[in-house]
Amino acid sequence: MTSLALALVLSSALLHASWNLVLKKAGGGPEFTWLFSVVALALFFPAAILSFPGIEALTPAVLGIIAASSLCETGYYLALQGAYIKADLSVVYPIARGTGPLLAVFLASPILGETLGPGVVFGTILVLSGSLFLASRKNLPNALPHAGGIVLGLLAGIFISGYTLVDKAAVSMFRLPPIFYFWAVLFFQVLLLTPLAATRREALREAWVHRRREALAIGVLCPLAYILVLWALTFTPVSRIAPSREIGIVFGAFFGSRFLGEKGFRGRLLASAAVFAGVLLLAAN
């Protein structure tokens, strides 16, 4: 992994953990996902127009790729919001962020033909071991109330692996500009969520009145975080990028302790060190 790819991944991880903190504090449901998606759609429209590759690039295959990614993204946001309602940030975040790369890395070889050397495999194991350690800090009796959040966190991780593989194909095989591509995915996502949001008008009005600042923050941070990842994917294998993004777990653990009062931060230092070591190993390959 090049130094540029590593810098992009680290910046993205900080932005990603930041908008997850905002989402955890905001709560909400499908209508809030629709709201911050519309905000992002409006904010990034000028950049999307400037990077538009031309109407001839929008082939049926490309439209299918965009639709597939939007389905995975929508499922991810809804599962993640549901998980945060039921469980702590420091429980959900590592589960979702650990499951996604695990699937993405090992599916990248048969689907995208990427080679997984010993360093990549060992680095991935370190990253995922740290993730699982963070998720298992609570003993079973204390973890039972979080069972619903854990299941939804796993589901969010499955969606992460889906859109990661699809998006790698979009920006490397189909050469779609990252900003335009992400905007197009958002557009499809808004179309998918609009009928649901229309049935929840009162909740949508409440979200706008009480959480529009949070929607604006997520509408800025979320696209920026993933556009950086898409940029890195244009010249770096997904088997390196997907697990490297887990450095965000360190930020998530800190945010949960510092801003949400979640306990056990000292016990997470060992897991954080494993994540750092895994990322450095991946960066060297």
pLDDT per position as a tens digit, 40-85: 999 999 999 999 999 999 999 999 999 999 999 999 999 999 999 8
Rounded Cα distance, 250 and 244, in Å: 12
Rounded Cα distance, 42 and 187, in Å: 10
DSSP-derived secondary structure letter, 236: S
DSSP-derived secondary structure letter, 166: H
**Which of 46-55, 121-130, 259-268 is least confident?**
259-268
- Checking if the pLDDT of 143 tops 60, the result is no
- Checking if the pLDDT of 140 tops 50, the result is no
Contacts of 260 (CB under 8 A, 6+ apart): 21, 24, 25, 88, 89
Host domain of residue 163: 3-283
- Checking if the pLDDT of 141 tops 50, the result is no
Rounded Cα distance, 217 and 16, in Å: 11
**Which of 12-26, 129-143, 235-249 is least confident?**
129-143
Average pLDDT over residues 222-248: 87
Please provide the average confidence, as pLDDT, over all residues in the chain: 85
pLDDT classification of 96: cutoffs 50, 70, 90: confident
- Checking if the pLDDT of 17 tops 70, the result is yes
What end-to-end distance do the CA atoms of the chain give, in Å?
A: 6
Amino acid at 211: R
Rounded Cα distance, 150 and 154, in Å: 6
Single out the residue of 246, 230, 12, 18 nearest to residue 134, CA to CA. Answer: 246
Count of domains forming the chain: 1
According to DSSP H, which parts of 51-117 are helical?
A: 60-86, 89-112
pLDDT classification of 112: cutoffs 50, 70, 90: confident
CB 192 within 8 A of CB 112: no
Amino acid 139: pLDDT = 37
pTM here?
Answer: 0.85
Rounded Cα distance, 27 and 144, in Å: 21
If 0-12 CB within 10 Å is exposed, 13-18 middle and 19+ buried, where does residue 74 land? buried
- Checking if the pLDDT of 86 tops 50, the result is yes
Tokens of 190: 């808004």
